[in-house]
Structure 1
Amino acid sequence: MAELKQFIFFDFEMLCSDEGMSFESMEAIRLGAVKYNLQTKEVLTFDEYIKPLSTKPLSEFCKELTGIDNQHLADASSFQQVLEQFLTWVGGIKKSRFFSWSPSDLHRLKVDSRIHGIPSSTIAKIEKRYVDFQEIFTKRVSKTNASVESALQLYGLDFIGEKHHPMYDSYNTLRIYLKFLDEPIQSDLIMLNQFIFEQEPLPFNKVNAKLNHKILEDFSQLLANDVIHMKEARKILKKTSKLVKKYNNVLINRSGLFTDENIKLIEELVAFYHDFLNTFNEHHSFSSKVLILDHYITTNSTLYLKQG
């Protein structure tokens, strides 16, 4: 595989209506992008209107939302022409990684390329190198599907440029990505507030102590005894699964911020979940009405011993 030399962030504006439209009919009407050179840090921009196949005038809703009017599209190039310009501007798919904020932009690219007879092999090369950054940001930082504007705000940043302008949306997505990439400690602190501490202000030097307390507090609420009715066991299993997801980013420890002790506690939480799941499935297969926890789990786990 060719050496990665640049990031490409791209965004489409599409036909839209306040009465609703099928995704198939929401043709691209503008493509904006930024190219970030990994070596020089230089940022280059791309912005082109696209003339859709639909000849229906834009609705007032769509014009107001996108800032695009009918005259922009009347003089615009076709999708095939704009995509060709875009690929020339990219200057090499194999040395690029492509990003957008949500997968809808990749879906738009694939749908419109199919409609316009663009070779699927070309789009497959982009898709192979594509990253849905909103999904990563949701999983690693924000917990919920943040907008570009709200993701910027988590880092204390303001949106630069014109909103609903695909080139500026791409540029601001790049800014978020660089923060995520280059400032893992800040990203993990944001993550803690979003996933675990629920916006509770916390001094930096007390993060691990508070985290330790929170892990033990959450675990202590799972079990009252070693013999559990199966209906209650199912609820506990679901709660434990949620805790594993809640603390997963601490276990990954992108920033190196978290102590070995806290990492070990979460590893034990994950191990407990899998042990509990196996025990539950075994009891369920025998139609048991109660679940009995393995004695080893409750006598050797740090999570249990610390509570005792």
Structure 2
Amino acid sequence: MADIKQMIFFDFEMLCSDNGMAYDMMEAIRLGAVKYDLETESITYFDRYIRPENQEPLSDFCKALTGIDDQDLVGANDFATVFEEFLAWVGGIKKSQYFSWSPSDLTRLKIDAEKHEIPLRTITKIEKRYIDFQAVFKKRVANNNVSVEDALALYGLEFSGEKHHPMYDAYNTLRIYLQFLHEPVQSDLIMLKQFILEDELTSFEKEHLNQILAAHIKFDINLLVNQIRDVYRLRDVKKLFKPINRIVVKYENVIMNRSGIFTDENVRHAELLSTFYHELLQSYEEHVSYRSKIMILNEYLLRPLHVITSK
């Protein structure tokens, strides 16, 4: 894959109805995008209305939701023409990384591209370089699929530009990305509140927040250890995976320690918890392969966790 020289953030507005509409019929009616040059940090913009094949008047619901009126679409080009203009504006598929706030925009692109007989290889090149940034943000910062506005608010920022305008949605997604990229400490502090500490984090002092974090890790591990037995029927072991995984996911970003604010001890304890989970999965799979009826949890699986709770 060629070196990435620019990032493309894009967003579609689509046909819609308050009576419901099959997704494949929700044709794109506006494409907005921003291009961020990694070397110069310059931003350029793209905004086009798209004339859909469905020529029925837009519903009042759709007009209110998208901010688009029938007159906006009368002189617009069809999807194939707008997409050709978009590719010319991009200036090189292979040197670009593509982002949107939810995968629905990529899905829309794929459906409409097929409808308009755009070569599959072109869409495949984009898809290979595509990132659902909402999913990344959920996993690394927010713990939920939040809106663009709510993601900005987590950083103390307000939406910039016109609401329900795909170009401004794309631009504000870029703003969130740049905060995430260049403000790892702030991102990890938000993550702590969203995943683990909720309203407890009243001080951003490193030693204090690590003390609170250590107490949470110890509490969760102690809760886990007290609930685990030595022997299980194999069919009951699967019931352990979901609650243990929920705890492991809470501390994934502590292990990553992208900002470097977490102590080595907290990172190590989070790693021990993750290791326990994956070794339990492996042991379960081995027992299944041997058609065992029961599963005995070996002491070596639990020993690292007992060390933490005994401190």
Percent identical residues: 56
Q: 1:104: which partner in 2?
A: 104
Q: 2:292: which partner in 1?
A: 286
Q: Deviations over 1:272-293 (max 9, x none)?
A: 22333344456664222xx543
Q: Is the 1:222–1:236 contact (alpha carbons within 8 Å) kept by the matching residues of 2?
A: no
Rounded Cα–Cα distance in structure 1 between residues aligned with 2:168 and 2:189: 27
Q: Deviations over 1:204-242 (max 9, x none)?
A: 221211111111100100123653554875444332121
Letter in 1 for 2:249: K
Q: 1:49: which partner in 2?
A: 49
Structure 1 segment 101-140 matched on structure 2, within 5 A: 101-140=101-140
Distance 1:22 1:226, change over 3 A: closer
- For the aligned residue pairs, the C-alpha RMSD in angstroms reads 1.8
Letter in 2 for 1:250: V
Q: Deviations over 1:115-162 (max 9, x none)?
A: 111111111111111111111111111111011011001111000111
Structure 1 segment 158-307 matched on structure 2, within 5 A: 158-205=158-205, 206-224=208-226, 226-230=229-233, 233-281=237-285, 285-288=291-294, 291-299=295-303, 301=304, 303-307=305-309
Deviation at 1:305, TM superposition (A): 2.0
Distance 1:2 1:235, change over 3 A: closer
Letter in 2 for 1:220: N
Mark the runs of 5 or more structure 1 residues left unpaired by the alignment.
none
TM-score normalized by the length of structure 1: 0.93
Letter in 1 for 2:84: E
Q: Is the 2:96–2:129 contact (alpha carbons within 8 Å) kept by the matching residues of 1?
A: yes
Secondary structure at the residue paired with 1:2? coil
Mark the runs of 5 or more structure 2 residues left unpaired by the alignment.
none
Q: 1:145: which partner in 2?
A: 145
Rounded Cα–Cα distance in structure 1 between residues aligned with 2:309 and 2:5: 51
Rounded Cα–Cα distance in structure 2 between residues aligned with 1:192 and 1:71: 48
Rounded Cα–Cα distance in structure 1 between residues aligned with 2:240 and 2:78: 56
Rounded Cα–Cα distance in structure 1 between residues aligned with 2:218 and 2:165: 47
Q: Deviations over 1:158-186 (max 9, x none)?
A: 00111110000000000000001111111
Q: Deviations over 1:81-133 (max 9, x none)?
A: 11111111111111111111111111111111111111111111111111111
Letter in 2 for 1:135: A
Moved more, 141-150 or 252-261: 252-261
Number of corresponding residues: 304
Distance 1:287 1:112, change over 3 A: same
